[in-house]
C-alpha cells in the first residue's frame, strides 16, 4: 500500500484534480469541507458494495454505483448513462483494502453454505453458481484492479477524467493511487 497518496490538507491534492469534482470529493470526505448545495451530480463514483464504507459528501453531489470490488465491467450502461444523460465528466473509482472480492476461492465453502442455509438453495446449484460467476467477479489485488479498471475506462471514455482511489477501512479515509 506504499503507492497510496494521503490527502490530509488541500495542498496534498494534485493540481489536475484540485479544481474539479474529484478534488471536492477529497475535501468533503477527508478534510471535512463544509457542504455546498448541488442540484445535479458533479461526478460518478464507482465503489465497492462493502458495508464498511461510507462517504461524507453533500446531497445531489454524485451518482454512485456500488458493485463488488468496484468492478464496473458489468455496469457500463449505467456509467454511460451518468456521462450522457447526467452530463458528468469526472469519475472517482474507489477500491478498498480487505475486499471480499479478492481471493474468492478461499470463500467458496462459505459462499456455498451461505446460499444453502440462507437462501434455501441446494449445495449443487450453489456450487455451480459460484463456479460460473466467481471468475467474473474475482479482482485479484485491490490496487492493481483499480488501476486496470481506470485504464480500461479511460480508453472507453477518453474525454472523462478518472481518478483511481483507495478507501482504507482502518481510518475511513480516501487515498489517491499513485499511477507512476
Spatial distance between the Cα atoms of 55 and 41, rounded to a whole number of angstroms = 15
Would you state the pLDDT for residue 180? 86
CATH number of the domain that residue 150 is part of: 3.40.1050.10
Answer yes or no: do 8 and 95 share one domain.
Answer: yes
Spatial distance between the Cα atoms of 95 and 132, rounded to a whole number of angstroms = 24
Answer yes or no: do 147 and 172 share one domain.
Answer: yes
Answer yes or no: do 41 and 116 share one domain.
Answer: no
Interior angle at CA 105, CA 136 and CA 120, nearest 5: 85
Answer yes or no: do 155 and 131 share one domain.
Answer: no
Tell me the backbone φ, ψ of residue 64, rounded to 5 degrees: -130, 125
Give the single-character DSSP code of 151: H
Name every residue whose Cβ is closer than 8 Å to that of residue 154 and which is 6 or more positions away in sequence: 160, 162
| Average pLDDT, 10 consecutive residues per value, the chain (180 residues) | 91 97 98 98 96 94 96 96 98 95 94 98 97 93 96 98 97 96
Answer yes or no: do 52 and 84 share one domain.
Answer: yes
Domain of 93 in residue numbering reads as: 4-100+140-177
Name every residue whose Cβ is closer than 8 Å to that of residue 40 and which is 6 or more positions away in sequence: 60, 86, 87
CA distances from 25 to 34, 35, 91, 117 (A): 11, 10, 11, 40
Give the single-character DSSP code of 80: H
Dihedral sign computed on CA atoms, order 30, 102, 157, 77:
negative
Answer yes or no: do 157 and 171 share one domain.
Answer: yes
Answer yes or no: do 69 and 25 share one domain.
Answer: yes
Answer yes or no: do 113 and 25 share one domain.
Answer: no
Report how far Cα 158 is from the mean position of its chain's Cα atoms: 19
Split into its structural domains, the chain has a count of 2
Amino acid at each position: 500500500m506504499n503507492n497510496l497518496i494521503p490527502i490530509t490538507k488541500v495542498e496534498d491534492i494534485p493540481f489536475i484534480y484540485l479544481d474539479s469534482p474529484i478534488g471536492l470529493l477529497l475535501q468533503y470526505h477527508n478534510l471535512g469541507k463544509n457542504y455546498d448545495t448541488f442540484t445535479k451530480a458533479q461526478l460518478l463514483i464507482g465503489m465497492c458494495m462493502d458495508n464498511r464504507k461510507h462517504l461524507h459528501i453533500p446531497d445531489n453531489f454524485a451518482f454512485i454505483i456500488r458493485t463488488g470490488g468496484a468492478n464496473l465491467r458489468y455496469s457500463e450502461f449505467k456509467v454511460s448513462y451518468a456521462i450522457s444523460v447526467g452530463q458528468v465528466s469526472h469519475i472517482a473509482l474507489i477500491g478498498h483494502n480487505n475486499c471480499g472480492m479478492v481471493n474468492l476461492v478461499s470463500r467458496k465453502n462459505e459462499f456455498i453454505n451461505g446460499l444453502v442455509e440462507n437462501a434455501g438453495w441446494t449445495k449443487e446449484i450453489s456450487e455451480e453458481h459460484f463456479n460460473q460467476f466467481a471468475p467474473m467477479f474475482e479482482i485479484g489485488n485491490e490496487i492493481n484492479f483499480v488501476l486496470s479498471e481506470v485504464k480500461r475506462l479511460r480508453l472507453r471514455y477518453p474525454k472523462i477524467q478518472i481518478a483511481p482511489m483507495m478507501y482504507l477501512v482502518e481510518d475511513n479515509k480516501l487515498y489517491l493511487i499513485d499511477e507512476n
